[in-house]
Structure 1
Amino acid sequence: MRILLSNDDGVAAKGLAILYSSLEGVGERTVFAPDRNSSGLSSSLTLGRPLRVTEHANGFHSVDGTPADCVHLAVNALLGQEPDMVISGINHGANLGDDVLYSGTVGAALEGRFMRLPAIAVSACGKGEESLITAGRVVRDLILRLEQLSLPEGTLLNVNVPDRSYEELNGLAVTRLGHRERAEKPVQVLDPRGNPAYWIAPVGKEQDAGEGTDFHAVARGFVSVTPLQYDQTHHATLSQLSEWLG
């Protein structure tokens, strides 16, 4: 099995190194990741300039672009053989609910899915190294079972791992996305010359976090596995719009 690894925390991120180590013996691993932290870039592609690739001493490759750039470039131009799947992560922090709309971790996995490849985005909900190690073991478990699963075209798995040791996990839960409240207002600051600038505020608190959601599962010690699709059409509204437009 040929596995393409990427992330949005950057090529030097600890989560990426742990993911690479966790999959030793599972398949042939290749890394193409952004050369810097690229969180929040979603599925954006760099279209206004050429991209440059650097190979590092550990065999990882960095791209001076977005997470989606990394997967797009690797699959379409740089790999001798197309990978069998794409794994993005391990993100240092959760990607729950509405977070997936902004997440570069999900964006990299989604780019793989655009190219008809099985894809998984994986995030560790804690900030410590133990949380990343737990997530690495979970990913390995899922990959070893993946041959038993046939996902519909255009579907990827968004995996969030609770902040606890592997032995303390309560199992796996298939979930839907929850939703957050509206984010706080941006924070205004002044630059050294007295000009106003703004920090984007943290995401909003959980609003829809009831049973069956990814928020609910993670809060109770379960690994959340959510199938995502890139068809964002609201099918239930099609007939209503047709009537409205005549």
Structure 2
Amino acid sequence: MFEPIPDLSKARILVSNDDGLDAPGIQVLERVARTLSDDVWVVAPETEQSGAGHSLTLHDPIRYQRRGPRHVAVRGTPTDCVLLGVKLFMADHPPDLVLSGINRGGNMGEDITYSGTVAVAMEGTLLGIRSIALSQQFSDPDAVPWDTAEATIGEVVRRACAARWNREVLINVNVPDCPADQVAGIRLARQGKRVGSSRFSENLVERVDPRGRPYVWIGVEQVRGFDGADTDLHAIAQNCVAVTPLCIDLTDEGTMDAMGSVF
């Protein structure tokens, strides 16, 4: 189990994301992290890596550039950033906490499987560090409510770190698309599932470039509903911050039992 950290002021924190080192969300997260501790490192992709999932660079060298004290831009995936942060840049004293985000857009339901933001927290968990992924929902791309995330996630992180949790678990947090004073609370929620939606695979847009070569855009998912009143999707729809514990052990015990007679 991860033991409680009731006082984060002495904790070493690694901040990363999948939107890139210069993304506004990671700047907000660094400010919040610095209200929790003075020992904050930022190691993030040089460019946006949204949708990268838990991918790792194996066949190319990973280049990096120091951007200042405790700030490193990595030419690689979000997973690369955590691995280098923990095992190289912070090797003398590994972090006590990994914070990922704040992602520009929610990471709920099936999106979790694609998310580079969640992958940062997944890699931190695999390395034996308690890890939290944080995302800010929005409807207007020109008016992402970063103030809402900045006003709420510090308390979420403090409360989460004050609890014991399984070392196979990461915490996924989503902040609703509303002003901070309209947040209806913090709700524990299971991972939801969208229903009646057109998945990414059903929204492929095929075109031809000026040189006559075909290419494809993966279109935006169209969502018409979701299941369950106890899910992350429902919590966000109710203007609540959704806090979802995710287990990195993907084994389904029920199916193991059911297949015991044939294998």
Size of the aligned set, in residue pairs, is 245
Query: Structure 1 length normalisation: TM-score?
Result: 0.94
- Separation of aligned partners in 2, 1:129 and 1:109: 26
Distance 1:73 1:133 in 2: 30
2:251 to 228, 233, 236: 233
Q: How big is the shift at 1:141?
A: 0.7
Which 10-residue stretch deviates more, 43-52 or 196-205?
Answer: 196-205
> Which residue matches 1:115?
127
Residue 155 of structure 1 and its aligned partner are, at CA, apart by 0.4
Residues 41, 147 of structure 1: alpha-carbon distance in 2 compared, 3 angstrom cutoff: closer
Q: Deviations over 1:29-73 (max 9, x none)?
A: 100000000000111000001211111147521100000100011
| Residue 100 of structure 2 is aligned to residue 88 of structure 1 | yes
Distance 1:132 1:109 in 2: 20
Partner-residue secondary structure (3-state), 2:52: coil
When normalised by structure 2's length, the TM-score is: 0.88
- In 2, Cα distance between equivalents of 1:2 and 1:57: 18
User: What is the letter of the counterpart of residue 96 of structure 1?
Assistant: M
Aligned with 1:9 (options 9, 19, 37): 19
Return the offset for 1:186.
0.9
Q: What are the residue-to-residue correspondences of 1:61-140 with 2, within 5 Å? A: 61-79=72-90, 80-126=92-138, 127=141, 131-140=145-154
Instruction: Look up the match of 2:29.
Output: 19
Q: Which amino acid aligns with 1:244?
A: V
Q: Distance in 1 between the 2:64 and 2:218 partners?
A: 30
Q: Is the 8 A contact 1:130 1:164 kept in 2?
A: no
Where structure 2 has 5 or more consecutive residues not aligned to the other structure, the ranges are 1-10
Q: 1:190 aligns with which of 196, 208, 213?
A: 208
Q: 2:162 aligns with which of 148, 163, 166?
A: 148
SS in 1 for 2:35: coil
Partner residue, 2:3: none
For residues 222 and 230 of structure 1, do their structure 2 counterparts lie closer, same or farther at Cα, with a shift above 3 Å needed?
same
For residues 147 and 124 of structure 1, do their structure 2 counterparts lie closer, same or farther at Cα, with a shift above 3 Å needed?
A: closer
Q: Determine the C-alpha separation between the residues in 2 that align with 1:160 and 1:74.
A: 24
Instruction: Work out which of the residue numbers 44, 48, 52 in structure 1 matches 2:59.
Output: 48
Separation (CA, whole Å) in 2 of partners of 1:29 and 1:193:
48
Summarize the Cα distance change of 1:199–1:130 in structure 2 as closer, same or farther, 3 Å threshold. Answer: closer
- Aligned-partner Cα distance in 2 for 1:12–1:233: 37
For 2:86 and 2:161, the matched residues in 1 are separated by 21
Distance 1:18 1:129, change over 3 A: farther
Q: 2:187 is matched by which residue type in structure 1?
A: A
The 3-state SS of whatever aligns with 2:203 is coil
* 1:163-202 paired onto structure 2 within 5 Å: 163-180=177-194, 181-183=197-199, 184-202=202-220
Structure 1: 5+ residue stretches without partners: none
Q: Distance in 2 between matches of 1:150 and 1:129?
A: 36
Partner Cα distance (2:106, 2:142) in 1: 12
Report percent identity of matched pairs. 37
Runs of 4+ in 1 over 6 A off after TM superposition: none
| Corresponding position: 1:36 with 2:47 | yes
Partner Cα distance (1:206, 1:46) in 2:
36
